[in-house]
């Protein structure tokens, strides 16, 4: 976009923006000729990524603001009316988390929907994302919206949409919404008080009780004595997670007091993602004082779950998303006789170990694109063919079991992990011992996720250049290991060691995967929700006799660092 087009876009935006969207800041950019700032705020328009629409709050089309909520909601209403008969009467469920402006953005979405003739089922309080997914189907709504940026920085907010089945929207629905939004430049109607009173309804009082009953129904065993420390990391998971654990019979749950109440500033952590180093420091300190057996942590919208267990040195060790995923998959698969009718789903960037576990039990395992929306699509398709969906997970600490929620659910998963840990604790063992057993059976799988932040439009250009460079000159060796195969998901082509090719059974997505001669692998993709490029590295080795998996991970770690180094060099990062 040239500078004249940028200025025209900014001028048009100012004419439509509400006062609290800071239109005066854009007027000042125009007046002082700050082309760099205009490019950052108007050089792109937010759209739907792997987990909805997310971005920094502020003025402009490349930011989350009230006008953006109006535009995307108006487009959503238009597409729903065109594609789903009776959608306006079925209505749309709307919820929000505890981030700054989330409640105001949810109210704005409700008013736009009401003005467009839709019934709106509005949450009266901040709620977790999985509760909104459940509410959409419980209420029989045509769609669901939640205002959340999940685990993004405090300056961000977002907009996530679910379809009538409670699954995140995918193509072509999401692209139709974005195309409709971009094609419209008119002022958008917002409901007056009378229209709001007729069409906006609060959630019924029995909805949350029904969700919690569903959480207990997902369980495969009863609880046993266990001491748990829990933190919602300043998010909205505190009340529902503590209720779910209490209902499950866990009487000794100690919440981290400094992080229990929702706080949009996230004051005790530099970044509100429980995967990040240091975020569980307060939880680990409390767990040591309480002589706890398990730490559970939700991210701010409680759709993800982090887990930490006592280590052999007397401290605490946080398990990776892949490790929790294979533990849960094995636990659920082992509870009954399995066949190809039973499905476990994961993403292409998650550990390959889960496929080996599923094969051992005779169940089916499928890989999907990155993003839990694709796991939900695989589950729904499998069920439509008479199958049963058991479990899905992604390496970024997202999991779901059964059909309660068609998205990742950090509340129900917290109970399942507690149940699993309690069963091992009753035997005098921990989840670390459970992993030892799995690694001895299936081989040690060591994963290393790497996120490289590249903010702004310059960062976006660098990310695109890196992917282009890898496609034009793919590496022949990574970490001293020969590349024996690759997958280019964007172009739907896989390449074997003999240079022959085959078609991939995946929708197009900007992902590259490199298979190495010893069974290791490396994948790279741009993030769909944050200004990052992500690397996913995994090595597989046999676990030596009497070797602890923690020690084996330390032995293998340098090899993964070398693979990362070579992949970054090949990408120019």
Query: pLDDT tens digit string along 431-443?
Result: 999 999 999 999 9
R_g over Cα of the chain? 24
- With a cut of 80, say whether residue 258 has pLDDT above it: yes
Mean pLDDT confidence for 242-258: 98
User: Helical H runs in 2-65?
Assistant: 3-16, 23-32, 35-42
- Residue 2, pLDDT score: 87
Residue 77 contacts residue 110 (beta carbons within 8 Å): no
Active site includes 150? yes
pLDDT band at 21, cuts 50/70/90? very high
532: which 2 tokens?
Answer: 């990052």
- Quote the pLDDT of residue 519: 82
Structure tokens belonging to residue 150 = 């999940």
Q: Burial, 332: exposed, middle or buried (Cβ in 10 Å; 0-12, 13-18, 19+)?
A: buried
Structure tokens at 497: 């060691």
Tokens 């402009």 sit at which residue? 60
**Are 119 and 89 in contact, with CB atoms under 8 Å apart?**
yes
Asked if the model's pLDDT at residue 1 lies above 80, the reply is no
Question: Could you tell me which residue, 1 or 536, shows the higher pLDDT?
Answer: 536
Binned at pLDDT 50, 70 and 90, residue 549 comes out as: very high
pLDDT at 50: 79
CB atoms closer than 10 angstroms to residue 514: 26
Confidence band of 192 (pLDDT split at 50, 70, 90): very high
Using one digit for the tens of pLDDT, what is the confidence trace for 384-434? 999 999 999 999 999 999 999 999 999 999 999 999 999 999 999 999 999
Residue 49 has a pLDDT of: 82
In order of 59, 195, 257, the CA distances from 153 in angstroms are 17, 35, 21
pLDDT band at 544 (very low <50, low <70, confident <90, very high): confident
**Looking at residues 514-521, what average pLDDT do you find?**
89
pLDDT at 398: 97
Residue with tokens 């419209």: 184
Q: What domains are there in the chain, each with its CATH number?
A: 1-43 (no CATH), 62-204 (3.40.120.10), 222-442 (3.40.120.10), 444-571 (3.30.310.50)
- pLDDT score recorded for residue 74: 97
First to last CA, the chain: 26
3-state secondary structure of 45: coil
Q: Average pLDDT of the chain?
A: 95
Given the residues 88, 150, 350, 486, select the one marked as catalytic. Answer: 150
Average pLDDT of the segment spanning 134-143 = 98
pLDDT (tens digit per residue) in 24-66: 999 999 999 999 999 999 999 999 987 889 999 999 999 999 9
Close Cβ partners of 82 (under 8 Å, ≥ 6 residues apart): none
| pLDDT at residue 185, as a whole number | 77
User: Residues 551, 544: contact at Cβ < 8 Å?
Assistant: no
Mean pLDDT throughout 552-572?
A: 94
Residue 520 has pLDDT above 80, yes or no: yes
Is it the case that residue 14 has pLDDT exceeding 80? yes
- Distance from C-alpha of 280 to C-alpha of 509, rounded to nearest angstrom: 33
H or E element that contains 186: none
pTM of the model: 0.93
Contact 397, 305 (CB under 8 A): yes
Cα–Cα dist 512/446, whole Å:
20
pLDDT, residue 560, reads: 93
Asked if residue 241 has pLDDT above 90, the reply is yes
Question: Considering only 2-16, 196-210, 286-300, 444-458, which range has the smallest mean pLDDT?
Answer: 444-458
Tell me the C-alpha distance between 260 and 457, whole Å.
Answer: 36
In degrees and rounded to multiples of 5, residue 247 shows phi and psi of -60, -30
528 beta partners:
none
351-390 pLDDT per residue, tens: 999 999 999 999 999 999 988 999 999 999 999 999 999 9
pLDDT of residue 377: 97
pLDDT category, 546, cuts 50, 70, 90?
A: confident
Residue 216 pLDDT exceeds 90: yes
DSSP for residue 82: H
pLDDT at 188 > cutoff 90: yes
d(Cα 65, Cα 58) in Å, to the nearest integer?
6
Task: Give the DSSP H/E element, type plus range, for residue 199.
Answer: helix 193-199
Torsion of CA 431, 437, 439, 442, to 10 degrees: -130
Residue 161 confidence (pLDDT): 98
Length of the chain: 573
Tokens of 422: 């309690």
| CA pair distance 310, 292, nearest whole angstrom | 8
């Amino acid at each position: 976009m040239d500078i004249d087009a940028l200025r025209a876009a900014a001028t048009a935006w100012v004419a439509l923006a509400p006062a609290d969207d800071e239109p005066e800041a854009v007027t000042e950019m125009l007046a002082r000729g700050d082309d760099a700032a205009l490019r950052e705020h108007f050089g792109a328009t937010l759209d739907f990524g792997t987990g909805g629409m997310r971005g920094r709050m502020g003025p402009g089309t490349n930011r989350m603001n009230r006008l953006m909520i109006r535009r995307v909601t108006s487009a959503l209403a238009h597409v729903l009316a065109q594609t789903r008969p009776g959608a306006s009467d079925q209505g749309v469920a709307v919820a929000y988390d505890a981030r700054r402006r989330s409640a105001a953005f949810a109210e704005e979405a409700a008013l736009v929907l009401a003005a467009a003739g839709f019934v709106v089922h509005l949450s009266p309080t901040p709620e977790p994302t999985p509760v909104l997914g459940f509410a959409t189907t419980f209420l029989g709504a045509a769609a669901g919206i939640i205002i959340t940026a999940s685990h993004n920085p405090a300056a961000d907010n977002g907009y996530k949409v679910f379809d009538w089945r409670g699954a995140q929207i995918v193509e072509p629905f999401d692209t139709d919404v974005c195309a409709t939004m971009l094609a419209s430049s008119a002022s958008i109607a917002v409901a007056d008080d009378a229209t709001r009173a007729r069409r906006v309804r609060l959630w019924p009082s029995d909805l949350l009780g029904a969700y919690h009953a569903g959480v207990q129904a997902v369980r495969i065993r009863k609880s046993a004595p266990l001491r748990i420390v829990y933190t919602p990391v300043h998010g909205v998971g505190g009340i529902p997670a503590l209720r779910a654990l209490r209902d499950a019979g866990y009487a000794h749950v100690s919440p981290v007091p400094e992080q229990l109440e929702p706080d949009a500033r996230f004051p005790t952590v530099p970044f509100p993602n429980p995967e990040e180093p240091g975020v569980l420091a307060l939880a680990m300190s409390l767990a040591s004082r309480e002589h706890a057996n398990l730490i559970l942590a939700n991210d701010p919208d409680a759709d993800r779950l982090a887990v930490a267990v006592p280590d052999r040195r007397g401290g605490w060790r946080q398990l990776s998303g892949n490790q929790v995923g294979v533990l849960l998959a094995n636990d659920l698969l082992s509870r009954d006789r399995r066949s190809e009718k039973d499905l476990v789903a994961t993403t292409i960037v998650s550990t390959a170990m889960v496929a080996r576990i599923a094969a051992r039990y005779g169940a089916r395992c499928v890989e999907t694109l990155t993003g839990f929306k694709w796991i939900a699509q695989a589950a729904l398709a499998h069920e439509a063919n008479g199958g049963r969906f058991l479990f899905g997970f992604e390496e970024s600490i997202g999991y779901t079991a059964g059909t309660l929620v068609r998205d990742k659910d950090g509340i129900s998963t917290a109970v399942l992990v507690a149940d699993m840990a309690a069963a091992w604790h009753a035997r005098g063992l921990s989840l670390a011992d459970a992993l030892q057993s799995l690694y001895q059976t299936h081989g040690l799988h060591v994963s290393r996720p790497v996120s490289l932040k590249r903010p702004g439009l310059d960062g976006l250009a660098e990310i695109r250049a890196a992917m282009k460079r890898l496609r034009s000159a793919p590496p022949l060796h990574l970490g001293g290991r020969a590349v024996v195969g690759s997958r280019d998901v964007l172009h739907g082509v896989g390449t074997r060691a003999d240079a022959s090719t085959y078609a991939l059974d995946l929708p197009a997505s900007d992902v590259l995967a490199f298979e190495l001669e010893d069974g290791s692998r490396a994948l790279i993709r741009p993030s769909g929700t944050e200004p990052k490029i992500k690397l996913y590295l995994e090595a597989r080795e046999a676990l030596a006799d009497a070797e602890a998996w923690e020690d084996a991970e330390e032995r293998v770690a340098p090899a993964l660092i070398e693979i990362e180094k070579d992949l970054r060099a090949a990408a120019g990062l």
